[in-house]
Amino acid sequence: MLLVASVINPATGKVVTSISAGSAKDVDIAVDAAKKAYKTSWGLKCPGSVRGRLLNKLADLIEKNIDEFAALESLDVGKVYERSKAQDIGSSIEVLRYYAGWADKVQGKTIETNELKLAYTRHEPYGVVGQIIPWNFPMGMLSWKIGPALATGNTVVLKPSEITPLTALRLADLINEAGFPPGVVNIVNGYGHTVGQAIAEHPLIEKVAFTGSTLTGRKVLKASAETNLKVVTLELGGKSPTIIFDDADLEQAVKWAAHGIFFNMGQACTAASRIFIQEGIYDAFLAKFTEIAKFLGSATGDPFLTGTQHGPQVSQTQFDRVMSYISSGKEEGATVHVGGERHGDEGYFIQPTIFTNVKPEMKIVQEEIFGPVAAVIKFKTEEEVIEAANSTTYGLGCNVFSENGSRALRVAHALEAGSAWVNCAQVADKSVPFGGYKQSGIGRELGEYAIDTYVSRSLVSFASLTQDYADADESGSNCRYTQVKGVHVNLGMKL
Ligand SMILES: *[C@@H]1O[C@H](CO)[C@@H](O)[C@H](O)[C@H]1NC(C)=O
Ligand SMILES: CC(=O)N[C@H]1CO[C@H](CO)[C@@H](O)[C@@H]1O
């Protein structure tokens, strides 16, 4: 039986095309091809400079076809076209170029032990790595994953989301055109419970990188535990706070707070859905924030039309999920200050929504909604807001607004989150590590830190004749006793 996955345009709810869905057997074929390529024409067989050149070539080809990629992304995900082009596709190109630059700069260390011994490390690729990417930023997350994996010499078996596979499939053409040896990148479309599961369990895949829900992340980790103990990195959910102090630049803070939650229709793992406002500016904030939400509501519609600022949710399932959170907020007694309804009668549009009068235990304050739904909460003191912001099982991002530099940094440091934005929100950068504390993930993407997650360190120790044993001087691969937080400080960027 040939399984087929329908690709639906979320702005209309109509089928765009159907793509065959792969099976576990297809994953086997892909892994065999990847293994063969790793042994014969990639990995340590291919100089880093050549790998870098190919990544640059791929980036150039995407740039040449940027209008097509942006259109596919908007059609598939419902993103506003101009943003698909400038942000999603534009930043993917930059990420690939960034990692192209790393390809010939991956180095080990020599380690001093004693005069009679030499020890050094080699940073070797794992071999075949599995990558499972989400539907909210298909090209973005693809570039975050294949960039460091290919730069370090791994070969890849990648599963796009079955609901948004178009750009990944088009990219497969360009990978051939760029001249990558066959088998270096294998893209297998399909469902999580078949293709995703097969990747997570595959005995010949040495590492898997997953971005998606915490629920599925647990399954990936469990599959590794029950099979070959492959290395797992996870980038999972979040319930990020935005915290705005009385002494913030209110005009800017409101705009960033709106960007922090409504960007990509709230479908971002760092979406800052809990907005804490210090009491002195609460009313002023709410008035301005309401204006922005209403404006976005009035600029909701066809992602391809000039002037559209807010598109649909990605699918019927996501639409239903977000609407059910809105209902639960109403039932639990929160006030819908703005929005709270479907927009229009076709497609999966939801009005930008603001809840007030929320309580910490409400579902809309505790759980990830993944939609354009903000809960606004009043606070008095710094201590109180740190405690409240931290009381979640997630720890992906946080945004802090204050013109008092020491306070802003102190709070950003105190919060349990892998990324902190000071006087800005939701602006990832290719060279700054990204990832989660607590149940938001394991490992880091982007920057040099991502390079680290695609190499395993082997220690070579030469013992002299007078010493029988070589001491392991560097801890083994992937041992980490620190959590890495990327802090982004706004020194003058305006929205
Ligand atoms: C900044 O905050 C600290 C307290 O955290 C305070 O002592 C200091 O006076 C503040 N600076 C300004 C310029 O308000
Ligand atoms: C730095 C800080 O205040 N951390 C707190 C964050 O919130 C948790 C509760 O979820 C506290 O245990 C931490 O002390």
Of residues 77, 68, 69, 88, the one with CA closest to residue 8: 77
Determine the Cα–Cα distance for residues 50 and 460; give it in Å rounded to an integer: 26
User: What residue owns the CA closest to ligand 1's atom 1?
Assistant: 404
Question: Could you please report the per-residue DSSP string of 167-202?
Answer: HHHHHHHHHHHHTPPTTSEEE----IIIIIHHHHH-
Strand partners, 232: 208
384-433: per-residue pLDDT in tens? 999 999 999 999 999 999 999 999 999 999 999 999 999 999 999 999 99
State the chain's mean pLDDT as an integer. Answer: 94
Q: Whose CA is closest to atom 12 on ligand 1?
A: 404
Tokens of 191: 């469902």
Rounded distance from Cα 398 to ligand 2 centre (Å):
14
Q: What percent of the chain has pLDDT over 90?
A: 88
Q: For residue 487, how many C-alpha atoms fall within 13 Å in the half-sphere facing its CB?
A: 14
- For the stretch 446-474, what's the b/e string if a residue is b when 16 or more beta carbons lie within 10 angstroms of its beta carbon? bbebbbbbbbbbebebeeeeeeeebeeeb
Compute, in degrees rounded to 10, the torsion defined by CA atoms 109, 115, 116, 122. 0
Any ligand 1 atom below 6 A from CB of 406: yes
Q: What is the pLDDT of residue 112?
A: 85
Cα–Cα distance for residue pair 376/357, rounded to 1 Å: 8
Least confident of 116-120, 136-140, 281-285, 461-465: 461-465
Which ligand is nearest the CA of 411, by number? 2
**Beta-bridge partners for 25:** none
DSSP assignment string, 17-72: EEEEPP-HHHHHHHHHHHHHHHHHTSGGGS-HHHHHHHHHHHHHHHHHTHHHHHHH
Q: Which of 243, 407, 422 to mutate to test the pocket of ligand 1 (most atoms within 8 A of CB)?
A: 407
Q: Does residue 114 have its Cβ closer than 6 Å to ligand 1? A: no
Neighbours of 251 (CB within 10 A): 11
Q: What are the tens digits of pLDDT across the range 29-51?
A: 999 999 999 999 999 899 999 99
The ligand 1 atom at the shortest distance from the C-alpha of residue 410 is 5
Indicate if the pLDDT at residue 469 is higher than 50: no
From the CA atom positions of the chain, what is the Rg in Å?
A: 23
Q: Is it true that domain 241-429 has CATH number 3.40.309.10?
A: yes
Helices 66-77 + 166-178 axis angle, to 10: 160
Which residue of 365, 416, 440 sits with most ligand 2 atoms within 8 Å of its CB, as the best mutation to test the pocket?
416
Distance from C-alpha of 165 to C-alpha of 159, rounded to nearest angstrom: 9
Mean pLDDT of 351-356: 98
Atom of ligand 1 nearest to the CA of 404: 1
CA-closest residue to ligand 1 atom 13: 404
Q: Specify the higher pLDDT residue, 491 or 341.
A: 341
**Ligand 2 mean position, distance from CA 214 (Å):** 21
Nearest ligand 1 atom to alpha carbon 382? 5
Other beta carbons within 10 angstroms of residue 321's beta carbon come to 14
For 3-236+444-452, CATH gives 3.40.605.10
In tens, the pLDDT along 171-222 reads 999 999 999 999 999 999 999 999 999 999 999 999 999 999 999 999 999 9
Residue 177 among the catalytic residues: no
Higher pLDDT residue, 100 or 44?
Answer: 100
Determine which one of 124, 235, 368, 416 is catalytic. 235
Confidence check: pLDDT of 477 > 60: no
Cα of 387 to ligand 2 centre, how many Å?
5
Q: Which ligand is nearest to the CA of 402?
A: 1
For 118, the enclosing helix (H) or strand (E) is strand 117-125
- CA–CA distances in Å: residue 238 to residues 111, 437, 484: 39, 10, 16
Whether 7 contacts 15, CB under 8 Å: yes
Ligand 2 centroid, distance to 391 Cα (angstroms) = 7
Judged by its nearest atom, the ligand closest to the C-alpha of residue 248 is: 1
Q: How confident is the model at residue 466 (pLDDT cuts 50, 70, 90)?
A: very low
Element (H, E) at 459: strand 455-463
Please state, in angstroms and as integers, the Cα–Cα distance from residue 286 to each residue in 354, 361, 375, 376, 491, following that order.
Answer: 9, 22, 11, 8, 25
**Best substitution site from 239, 381, 386, 390 to test ligand 2's pocket, by max atoms within 8 Å of Cβ?**
390
Ligand 2 centroid to residue 30 C-alpha, Å: 45
Q: Exposed, middle or buried by CB within 10 Å (0-12, 13-18, 19+), for 481?
A: exposed
Q: 459 pLDDT exceeds 90?
A: no
From ligand 1's centre to the CA of 407, what distance in Å?
7
Instruction: Give domain limits for the chain.
Output: 3-236+444-452, 241-429
**Whether residue 107 has its Cβ less than 6 Å from ligand 1:** no
Please name the amino acid found at residue 262. Answer: F
b/e map of 356-372 (b: 16 or more CB within 10 Å)? bebeeebebbebbbbbb
Is 18 a pocket residue for ligand 1 (Cβ < 6 Å)?
no
> What residue type is 283 in one-letter code?
D
